[in-house]
Structure 1
Amino acid sequence: MGFDGLLMTDDIDMKALSGTPGEKAAGAIAAGCDLVLDCWGRMDEMIEIAGRLGEIAPTSRERLDRAMAGRALPQGDLAALIAKRDELLALV
């Protein structure tokens, strides 16, 4: 297909795949995904996933860096944000 962008799974906790979270994550990476999404985030499962996957592959890291390079973080006015926060907290 020629696609060389960042490829991330859908939530692996949606029961569409069989196996433990670590097995599903490892399978997704082996299938060519760069990142694995686990939305539920149970700590024991996250530890299993991290243990199975280890560090991000260099090619995946390059794709992630390219994807993030085009995104600029919004530059907010800190004083205005604090004032808005205080205004909202005063309503409570």
Structure 2
Amino acid sequence: MHSTSTDLLSLTLNLMTLISFDVKLWCPSMRIKIDYAKCRDCRSYTCVDCCAMAVFSLQENKPVIVDGDSCTLCGICEDLCQKKAITIER
């Protein structure tokens, strides 16, 4: 018998997988973009730290998109970017 917390975690992970798949299925033309003019002097690099899919990497003191194909277009990086330099192009 599973505990309630284990069942809840399993359900959450399954829903996240389904949501990620649906976004990719229904939005193949969407992609993330970094506006480096806005990104200057950030130094917090929230986008690198918050991305569960490791889409971003820090190179030469700036975030770069290293694996855009893994992006689930969840929008967390866009929401948390303090400089509003990350956008999801539709």
Q: TM-score scaled by structure 1?
A: 0.23
By relative contact order (CA 8 Å, sep 6+), the higher-ranking structure is 2
Structure with higher Rg: it is 1
Higher percent of residues as helix:
1
